[in-house]
Structure 1
Amino acid sequence: MLLLISVSNKNIAQNIFATNKYDVRLIAPELTKNANIVKRDEDIFVEIKSIGKAYIYTKYAITILNAAGDYASLFYKSYDKLRNVSNIEATLYDDYGEKIKSLKKNDVQDVAGNTGFAEVGDDRVKLHNFNCKTYPYTIEYECTTELKGIFYLPAWLPIENEKYAVEKSKLTVLCPADYKLRYKSFNINKEPIIATVKDGLQYQWSIEKLTAIDYEQYMPDWYETTPLVFLAPTNFEIQNYTGTMVDWKSYGKFCYLLNQGRDILPENIKQKVHELTDNVTTTAAKIKILYEYLQQNTHYISIQLGIGGWQTFDANYVATKGYGDCKALSNYMYSLLKEVGIKSFYTIIKAGVNEQPIIPDFASTQFNHIIVCVPQPKDTIWLECTSQTLPMGYLSSFTSNRNALLIDENGGILVHTPTYKKTDNLQIRKINATVNDDGKLNAIINTKYKAEQQDKLHGIVNGISKEKIKEELNEQFSLPSYEINTFNYVSENTSLPIITEKIELTANNFCSITGKRLFINPNILNKSTYVLSEETKRKFDIKIKQEYIDIDSVEIIIPKGYKIESAPNDVEINSKFGTYNCKYTILENKIIYIRKLEKNSGTFALNEAANLSNFFAKIYKADRAKMVFVKE
């Protein structure tokens, strides 16, 4: 008993007299709520020496509360000829803030930064991890990054991910007194503190006590939910190229300058281009021929050499090698079109299904991909030059419905790429099935996927073996033990591509049989899985980015001798989020089930959360309704 009291008093004393700055008990309780990580302190100091030189001094400490936060313990810094990383220091602390160990110089790994798609590159990565598994623990890192050119400046993002809280974070930027720093902030209700200091002009932002953000389905983009500051230069220099970035026009002029003169084709390719197109009468047909020529004679790799992140390899390089990255392939396509007198635009864009959108009123380096835009009198043709299989004019969800920057000698013009509507994004399925007396289902399934609804399948069908496809199909459907007997895919490379899928499968125990009764859910393959729990408690507005239509027509022949005992009512749901209806018909021993879901895109106010939850809950329930048959 005396020992127990003694230990208890010790714990109380430790809590009261915690003096180590990284003692976990010093973290305010509201910061650990729903958090896997707490950023204890962060100090980022950006020193702009000139238009061609800057240093970033970074020091931060984070407490990892549990295994879900381990990903943040990895120190990962890329470098190349334009960036150098040095002065790396690190310390690991226990939950009381007591030092466990410090980083030794040879603990830092220095590895090639090339990905599986990269064939050539000079980028490398310095990385380190203490690999601590005793929670909670705290790590402190600091390093210096030298920028040999300020075409890109870092963003300040105190909350880096969901379930990530912040005790305090600070960004300081020091630049020459005559240099105008450009910045744009989000979700910060105060301007930076600007002061004249000995070495120039200083800008400073600071923030404290940010609670963790929980992930919510259909959240707005990250910059709309959390404090964030973007930085960008006015004048800059990089490897003897100078430019300005005050607006998109000047940004585009620099990009044009960087790639000027790299569109000269070798003579043999010029001859080939004219051989292919000189007798073709329409511009659209010429574009199609040249795009397919590109697809058939080149392939994609990533190239990261020198200023390869921004400057393309020339057209001769691609013609000779037969490969290139997005810049080189797009420049090559631009060059092919130019040779036959077709005006096109080298176009920079931020690609990715879930990427944050470009901030339209803040010209800066926000891009990661290049495509080609070919304006036509009645329409515009967009070309994704890294794909060997996409049809001419189709961008996919990878680059659709977002801002992009057209580049020419006059500078940059911000435009919007095509948005595919729900009437474009179709999944139309027809199922003919029979059910045996033992509840086994035999089904022939024909499905047509169109536009964005076929994007994922397009990558699978054109990217992996038949054996791998069958493995994926065996995991795809929510059916009791089933077997894929045959499958086949047919692609239609129209302007909105279509993939038709035919599958024959057998599913054991599809129906449950109890005594004389047969229980069947006629929605065989398209049960909604959306269930938004406690959505009335969400913090953010609702942002649904993609819209589509699903139509399922199912016919099931049941064993003879059964009659209907009970059937669900037809369902019709109308909402600003979309519409849903399903209908049941019995013709002798045949079930006919028709289901249609139209899902709308859009941004909806926070107070609509309960309505959204209710919309999906009704669909979830309707999709699982069963019909009951009784044996006569």
Structure 2
Amino acid sequence: MNYNKLFTMLFFTLFFFKANAQEFKLGKVSVGELQEKSHPMDSTAVAAILFEKGIVDFEYTQDDGFMMITEVTTRIKIYKKEGYEWANKAVSYYIGSNAKESLSFSDVVTYNLINGKIEKTKLKNDGEFDEKVNKYWGQKKVTLPNVSVGSVVEFKYVVRSSRFSELTDWSFQSSIPVNYSEFKTFIPEYFVYNPNIKGSVLPNITKEKSGKSLSYLYKPKVIPGENLHKSTSQEKLEFTETRTVYIAENLPAMKEEAYVNNIANYTTSVSHELSVVKFPNQPYQTLSTDWPSVTKTIYDYDDFGPELNKTGYFEEDLKVVIDGLSSAEEKILAIFNYVKESVKWNDYYGYSCNDGVKKAYKDKTGNVAEINLMLTAMLRHVGLTANPVLVSTRSNGIAFFPNRTAFNYVIAAVETSSGLVLLDATDPFSTPNVLPLRALNWVGRLIRKDGTSTEVDLMPKAASNDAVMMNYEISANGVVSGKLKRQRTDYNAIIFRGNIRNVKEDVYLEKLENENDKIEISDYSRTNEKDLKLPILENFAFSGSNFSEIIGGSIYVNPMLFFTVTQNPFKQENREYPVDYGFPFVDKYNITIKIPEGYKVESLPTSILLNMEDNLGGFKFMISATGNVIQLVITHQINSPIIVADYYPMLKEFYQKMMEKENEKIVLSKI
């Protein structure tokens, strides 16, 4: 797959904005803003960000050293009731054992226009909430008071942090229109950050350097035996500061559509990662400037590379696991299944171990890194060429730029004579080269023992199948009854197994009936649910009265019944980001229909064959009738997991034609 083409589309379709000279301040809400009934550029918008400004600055104290201060001010207009959610703001902050952060809200106000006058309502104490999300993160949330259609809400929050390895990510775009977005950074000369801009819009950027001084109280260290009453003094720290301002205006809403990996991948934003620290009279500390240095840094972390060298805790157990096995394939599968069964995932992401592989093995639970680094170590121990692969999950976004925070996940890879085998033991239904869907995010970085790395394509090549065999008959009063057999493989199987996990059969069947035009299901059975080597099968009988119409004595029936696609998933006129299916697939339907006695086939849909350009996919609809039996074979396949936006018009037209064909009726008339 041509990832370079995707990167080019995302980052070089640029549009420059003029900087707005207008000054935006909290408390300066106008009557015009309150009177506005709809957004001037998007009448469908439920709300809009009138302005959002962020400032990142640094302050210095003798005790804490440099502290990073992030201040954000926001004004939002509510146009519709559906926009009320924008009157709530939640911000996360770090509460882990190292480098904790503090977060505070202020200036939280709702403005309304009452009888031509501006009325303001301030936040009360019961409108602010602080909660612990997990052992690493807390969250503060404000719920603005007295919000109605037409309101304007404002708030400000400040985060104080010593975690300045990366600045806050700033998104200029949102799921609602943004009138004005501004982000400023004031960076002391001691820190060098790499700015990374993504999205289809380039903000206006200005940069300048100037001298700055910070005053602080110096308190001499007390040495035992010396005078305890040493006086403090006022000191001044002088340095060069780089001031950068990013401004963008009139940004359209980023609207979700079908088959989007993570809309944040394509949203105009800027991120910064610390690449160099250079304090006076100290050697330069280079953190990350390219992928080799990023992966080498990560591999050398105490909670990553050294964990791969620990083997004593599993050696005796592993002898039993691989006893009698000779081939690499047998050993890989045996060790992979052993780790899946022995250590359960605690739902924590990350490429760093929390408590370490030994404790995870003992406690039978661990995070992603502990489980998959343990798996890698076991595979290496039996003589296989195994290495960890750094991954950014779909929810975390694509790792476009070299930085340590681009990744939040790690899997294992084994080099074999037939190619690379990718493994993730955190998912009970994962199999070799069938990773959990969360890990299918373009590319990862394989790290070898010497710290060197190479790019690994994570996207599946083999198609996942969903095959349906359906036999049904139609009664003279239009009732349909029949039997169905469905077989799913690979990614269709892992998704289905995950969906039915811990779901009682009666609950599942009720949902299945309701989601398929209120059919009635009987004689349900499921096989190979636990045997991951085999496709998972469903069998059941069904009946339903919602699939046909009787008009003028003729029966009109949709041959695909509840499998008919009734809407085109692609609705936008144009699309600037790729269509991401996650994996290639083949959906196949083999349908046999028996028509009622006393009826004949008056008309059938015509057969059709559609093929997309460059072998991206196809649709086949083949139908025939012999006597009182109608035979139908339908195949819909997509050959590439990701289709670039250039093909969107073609893809949209393809789905429209496919949908129209699937909705054509069979007409049966009386003999």
TM category, shorter: 0.7 to 0.9
1:365 aligns with 2:405: yes
Conserved in 2, the CA contact under 8 Å of 1:266 and 1:319?
no
Q: Return closer, same or farther for 1:541/1:178 CA change in 2, 3 Å cut-off.
A: closer
Corresponding residue for residue 79 of structure 2 = 65
2:434 & 2:261 partners in 1: Cα distance?
Answer: 26
1:99 & 1:311 partners in 2: Cα distance?
Answer: 52
Render the CA deviation track for 1:350-383: whole Å, top value 9, x for unaligned.
Answer: 223x663220x43341223222222223311111
Once the two structures are superposed, the pairs formed by residues 13-412 of structure 1 within 5 Å of their partners are 20-21=29-30, 23-25=32-34, 30-31=40-41, 33-48=43-58, 53-79=67-93, 80-81=95-96, 82-96=99-113, 98=118, 100-104=120-124, 107-114=127-134, 121-130=135-144, 132-161=146-175, 164-186=176-198, 187-188=201-202, 190-199=204-213, 200-217=241-258, 222=263, 225-235=266-276, 244-258=287-301, 259=303, 260-263=305-308, 267=312, 269-303=314-348, 310-352=352-394, 356-359=397-400, 361-400=401-440, 402-411=442-451
1:19 & 1:328 partners in 2: Cα distance?
Answer: 52
Q: Return closer, same or farther for 1:102/1:95 CA change in 2, 3 Å cut-off.
A: closer
Conserved in 1, the CA contact under 8 Å of 2:266 and 2:577?
no
Conserved in 2, the CA contact under 8 Å of 1:295 and 1:389?
no
1:567 aligns with 2:581: no
1:431 aligns with 2:470: yes
Deviation of 1:266 (Å): 7.4
2:577 & 2:361 partners in 1: Cα distance?
Answer: 49
1:400 & 1:145 partners in 2: Cα distance?
Answer: 33
2:355 maps to amino acid:
F
Indicate which of 578, 594, 598 corresponds to 1:557: 594
Deviation of 1:558 (Å): 1.9
Deviation of 1:605 (Å): 5.4
1:181 maps to amino acid:
Y
1:217 & 1:617 partners in 2: Cα distance?
Answer: 14
Conserved in 2, the CA contact under 8 Å of 1:39 and 1:63?
yes
1:233 & 1:60 partners in 2: Cα distance?
Answer: 26
Q: Return closer, same or farther for 1:228/1:22 CA change in 2, 3 Å cut-off.
A: farther
Conserved in 2, the CA contact under 8 Å of 1:442 and 1:506?
yes
1:20 & 1:401 partners in 2: Cα distance?
Answer: 43
Q: Return closer, same or farther for 1:328/1:19 CA change in 2, 3 Å cut-off.
A: closer
Q: Which runs of 5+ in 2 are unaligned?
A: 1-26, 214-240, 279-284
Q: CA RMSD in A?
A: 3.2
1:113 maps to amino acid:
V
Indicate which of 524, 538, 560 corresponds to 1:523: 560
Conserved in 1, the CA contact under 8 Å of 2:112 and 2:119?
no
Render the CA deviation track for 1:605-625: whole Å, top value 9, x for unaligned.
Answer: 56x655444322222221121
1:582 aligns with 2:618: no
Indicate which of 455, 465, 475 corresponds to 1:415: 455
1:405 & 1:25 partners in 2: Cα distance?
Answer: 50
Q: Which moved further from structure 2: 507-516 or 78-87? A: 507-516
Q: Return closer, same or farther for 1:131/1:20 CA change in 2, 3 Å cut-off.
A: closer
Corresponding residue for residue 4 of structure 1 = none
Q: What SS is found at the alignment partner of 1:196?
A: strand
Q: What SS is found at the alignment partner of 1:292?
A: helix
Conserved in 1, the CA contact under 8 Å of 2:390 and 2:446?
yes
Conserved in 2, the CA contact under 8 Å of 1:434 and 1:558?
yes
Deviation of 1:99 (Å): 5.0
Corresponding residue for residue 543 of structure 2 = 506
Conserved in 1, the CA contact under 8 Å of 2:471 and 2:593?
yes
1:447 & 1:549 partners in 2: Cα distance?
Answer: 13
Deviation of 1:438 (Å): 2.7
2:189 maps to amino acid:
A
Q: Which moved further from structure 2: 520-529 or 28-37? A: 28-37
Conserved in 2, the CA contact under 8 Å of 1:48 and 1:173?
no
1:469 aligns with 2:508: yes
If the length of structure 2 is used for normalisation, what is the TM-score? Answer: 0.80
Once the two structures are superposed, the pairs formed by residues 606-621 of structure 1 within 5 Å of their partners are 610-621=649-660
Q: Return closer, same or farther for 1:538/1:25 CA change in 2, 3 Å cut-off.
A: farther
Taking every aligned residue pair, what percent have the same amino acid on both sides?
16
Indicate which of 479, 482, 504 corresponds to 1:443: 482
Conserved in 2, the CA contact under 8 Å of 1:56 and 1:144?
yes
1:482 & 1:447 partners in 2: Cα distance?
Answer: 16
Conserved in 1, the CA contact under 8 Å of 2:427 and 2:436?
no
Deviation of 1:469 (Å): 1.8
1:276 & 1:214 partners in 2: Cα distance?
Answer: 50
Deviation of 1:113 (Å): 0.4
Q: Return closer, same or farther for 1:177/1:243 CA change in 2, 3 Å cut-off.
A: closer
Deviation of 1:265 (Å): 5.3
Conserved in 2, the CA contact under 8 Å of 1:573 and 1:581?
yes
Q: What SS is found at the alignment partner of 1:234?
A: strand
Conserved in 2, the CA contact under 8 Å of 1:151 and 1:365?
no
Q: What SS is found at the alignment partner of 1:284?
A: helix
Q: Return closer, same or farther for 1:210/1:443 CA change in 2, 3 Å cut-off.
A: same
Q: Return closer, same or farther for 1:338/1:572 CA change in 2, 3 Å cut-off.
A: closer
1:144 & 1:110 partners in 2: Cα distance?
Answer: 15
2:158 maps to amino acid:
T
Render the CA deviation track for 1:396-454: whole Å, top value 9, x for unaligned.
Answer: 43223511122345336252334324x61222211111222332222211122222333
Conserved in 2, the CA contact under 8 Å of 1:188 and 1:227?
yes
1:66 maps to amino acid:
K
Conserved in 1, the CA contact under 8 Å of 2:110 and 2:122?
no
2:160 & 2:353 partners in 1: Cα distance?
Answer: 21
1:290 & 1:26 partners in 2: Cα distance?
Answer: 66
1:323 & 1:95 partners in 2: Cα distance?
Answer: 52
Render the CA deviation track for 1:579-620: whole Å, top value 9, x for unaligned.
Answer: 2221222122111111122235454556x6554443222222
Q: How many residues align?
A: 593
Q: What SS is found at the alignment partner of 1:30?
A: coil
Deviation of 1:335 (Å): 2.9
Deviation of 1:316 (Å): 1.3
1:473 maps to amino acid:
L
1:339 maps to amino acid:
H
Q: Which moved further from structure 2: 88-97 or 546-555? A: 88-97
2:645 & 2:361 partners in 1: Cα distance?
Answer: 52
Q: Which moved further from structure 2: 179-188 or 462-471? A: 462-471
2:329 maps to amino acid:
A
Q: What SS is found at the alignment partner of 1:181?
A: strand
Render the CA deviation track for 1:489-523: whole Å, top value 9, x for unaligned.
Answer: 33388998632222221213543334542323222
Render the CA deviation track for 1:116-174: whole Å, top value 9, x for unaligned.
Answer: xxxxx25322222125441122222222222333333221112122xx12222211112
If the length of structure 1 is used for normalisation, what is the TM-score? Answer: 0.85
1:390 maps to amino acid:
S
Conserved in 1, the CA contact under 8 Å of 2:122 and 2:145?
no
Deviation of 1:23 (Å): 5.0
